[in-house]
Amino acid sequence: MAFQELWQLRAAFAIELSDMYGQEVPAYNTLVDVSTDVNRDYMERIGAEAERLGSIQRVTAERHGAIRVGSPQEMSQVARVYAAFGMYPVGFYDLRDASASSVPVVSTAFRPIEADELAKNPFRVFTSMLASDDPRFFSPDQQRRLQDFINARELFPAELLTLADKAAEQGGLDDPEAVQLLELATRAFKLSDDPVDHAWYKELEDVSAVAADIGGVTSTHINHLTPRVLDIDDLYERMEALGITMIDEVQGPPAWDGPDVLLRQTSFRALDEERIFKFEDGTIGPGELRVRFGEVEQRGIALTPKGRELYDQMLAETDRRLNENGGIRTDVARQVWAENLPDTEHGLAREDLAFFTYRVAEDASSETLAQLPEHVTLVYLIDNGIVIAEPIVYEDFLPRSAAGIFQSNLTSEGSRDDALQGTDYDIDVMSEIVGRPVADPHDLYRKQQDESLAVVSAQLDRAIDSIVANPTT
């Protein structure tokens, strides 16, 4: 009776979900096949450098999922399920104001937190909760009916939650229970064939297609499962060549000559899926819904808060130029990037714009080391080749891209009354809902960087003064 550790359960969970989703949405299998080809060809073209942001094994197996739930109670339950797979909440995303369309959700992402856990299996799930109490979207009467509908359903059976708690407590499960946990957890995310109440679904859809997808049906389901590629522009072209309609643009940073940072994403449009409806006249029969799509992503280096601020400024500057002069977003963005962002990892590191782990260079001569000044700065160590910087990959999401992904697949804009005051949600409220602290992604990256620097500091027998570059030194 083999004991399955959390990471083994997580890896198995990702595979089971992927198999199930591939059966439900066959175009996903095409996306995975094309992604695998893109990665293989990129490796052949670029060689070992291609693996700078993750081994080809990790990247090819890597997925993120998206799940949507309806209430704080459902959010706290899904968090218990994820904990059984060693996945914990990181980051707070408020999508209610992030786009012009009506997207009444607040979100966090559940993922492994430690570097070694990420290396074993990095599966993560972007998880959104319907803000059914936000009066900008729902009238008081609708809020009540929506909450009643959601409170009456059960997404996660008691047996699943009990097994999940046990796995989290023990750091894993023995075999018969491990299999049972995986089966129940996977089934909880399967598309249901329960008839959809047509009138209710349509009423919610008038407010927001996302609200209907969450609160108009009796279960939850995977909205998408996203493979990771090493060259998203290549993937985009190959998918279009196969006749699959992609959204207009790749979201996030443009393709450019410098290092990839943060996250670039794109998707193919949601496809019609047959669902069973209960119609207004009482008849039951098939109809079509269009909510699930295929997304793909390319990951880059994690930015520090300073780098992130620069990123946000560059986005704003891109918007400003587009408004003023028109043009193609990616071309304008590429220009803005070339003007503002250092185009080497070295430049990003010495200006503290991105996160790295550092180690003492093997070829740093004993002479150089003997001559180290009493006070060293990180910039000194970087510039003199005394330390080697390895990029830390961005493991999180971008609110504007997420909103863009939601938006690009909505059938209508929906409605939001901006004259009313929205309900307050933030990372602390989300922590209370989830039942454990939601980590700030920057703290996690910073800790990884600081730990590596502590080792460097001990080896060099020097305090490392500041990691922020001083342009005058």
Which spans of this chain sit near ligand OOG (rule: CB under 6 A)? 66, 68, 126, 128, 223, 265, 295, 397, 401-402, 405-406
Nearest CB to ligand OOG, comparing residues 358 and 397: 397
Q: Kindly give, in sequence order, each residue whose CB lies less than 8 Å from that of residue 318, ignoring residues fewer than 6 positions away.
A: 329, 332, 333, 336
We find the least distance from the C-beta atom of residue 247 to Ni ion, in angstroms, to be 12
Q: For the window 226-265, what string marks contact with Ni ion as x by the rule CB under 5 A?
A: x---------------------------------------
Q: Kindly give, in sequence order, each residue whose CB lies less than 8 Å from that of residue 7, ignoring residues fewer than 6 positions away.
A: 86, 112, 117, 120, 121
We find the least distance from the C-beta atom of residue 267 to ligand OOG, in angstroms, to be 9
Number of neighbours of residue 390 by Cβ within 10 angstroms: 14
Nearest to 239 by CA among 271, 268, 273, 269: 268
| H or E element in which residue 316 lies | helix 305-325
We find the least distance from the C-beta atom of residue 262 to ligand OOG, in angstroms, to be 11
We find the least distance from the C-beta atom of residue 266 to Ni ion, in angstroms, to be 11
Q: Is 214 exposed, middle or buried (0-12, 13-18, 19+ CB in 10 A)?
A: buried
* Interaction between residue 94 and Ni ion (CB under 5 A): no
- Token pair, residue 337, equals 């990037």
Residue 3 phi, psi (nearest 5): -85, 130
Applying CB under 5 A, the span of 58-66, 243-251, 311-319, 429-437 interacting with Ni ion comes to 58-66
Which of Ni ion, ligand OOG, none sits in contact with 123, Cβ below 5 to 8 A by type? none
- Find out whether 92 and 108 touch, Cβ atoms under 8 Å: yes
* Interaction between residue 295 and Ni ion (CB under 5 A): yes
- Find out whether 160 and 190 touch, Cβ atoms under 8 Å: no
Nearest CB to Ni ion, comparing residues 216 and 252: 252
* Interaction between residue 62 and Ni ion (CB under 5 A): no
- Token pair, residue 43, equals 């490796």
We find the least distance from the C-beta atom of residue 294 to Ni ion, in angstroms, to be 10
Nearest CB to Ni ion, comparing residues 99 and 226: 226
Nearest CB to ligand OOG, comparing residues 121 and 223: 223
Number of neighbours of residue 439 by Cβ within 10 angstroms: 21
Nearest CB to ligand OOG, comparing residues 226 and 357: 226
Nearest CB to ligand OOG, comparing residues 191 and 402: 402
Nearest to 271 by CA among 31, 3, 10: 31
Nearest CB to ligand OOG, comparing residues 391 and 404: 404
| H or E element in which residue 459 lies | helix 441-460
Distance (Å, whole) CA 3 – CA 178 = 8
Which of ligand OOG, Ni ion, none sits in contact with 406, Cβ below 5 to 8 A by type? ligand OOG
Total site size for Ni ion, rule CB under 5 A: 3
We find the least distance from the C-beta atom of residue 352 to Ni ion, in angstroms, to be 29
- Token pair, residue 423, equals 């309900």
Distance (Å, whole) CA 212 – CA 290 = 11
Which of Ni ion, ligand OOG, none sits in contact with 68, Cβ below 5 to 8 A by type? ligand OOG
Applying CB under 5 A, the span of 291-299, 312-320, 414-422, 433-441 interacting with Ni ion comes to 291-299
Which of ligand OOG, Ni ion, none sits in contact with 128, Cβ below 5 to 8 A by type? ligand OOG
We find the least distance from the C-beta atom of residue 107 to Ni ion, in angstroms, to be 10
We find the least distance from the C-beta atom of residue 226 to Ni ion, in angstroms, to be 5
Nearest CB to ligand OOG, comparing residues 201 and 397: 397
Applying CB under 5 A, the span of 128-136, 220-228, 304-312, 336-344 interacting with Ni ion comes to 220-228
Residue 464 phi, psi (nearest 5): -100, 115
Which of Ni ion, ligand OOG, none sits in contact with 378, Cβ below 5 to 8 A by type? none
Please report the sign of the dihedral spanned by the C-alpha atoms of residue 336, residue 339, residue 345, residue 347: negative
Q: Which residue is nearest to ligand OOG (CB)?
A: 402
Distances (CA, A) of 380 to 233, 305, 359, 360, 364: 37, 22, 14, 13, 13
Nearest CB to ligand OOG, comparing residues 11 and 222: 222
Which of Ni ion, ligand OOG, none sits in contact with 239, Cβ below 5 to 8 A by type? none
We find the least distance from the C-beta atom of residue 206 to Ni ion, in angstroms, to be 25
Distance (Å, whole) CA 36 – CA 95 = 31
- Token pair, residue 22, equals 């591939």
Nearest CB to Ni ion, comparing residues 401 and 452: 401
- Find out whether 292 and 213 touch, Cβ atoms under 8 Å: no
Q: Is 438 exposed, middle or buried (0-12, 13-18, 19+ CB in 10 A)?
A: buried
Question: Footprint of Ni ion on this chain (CB under 5 A)?
Answer: 66, 226, 295
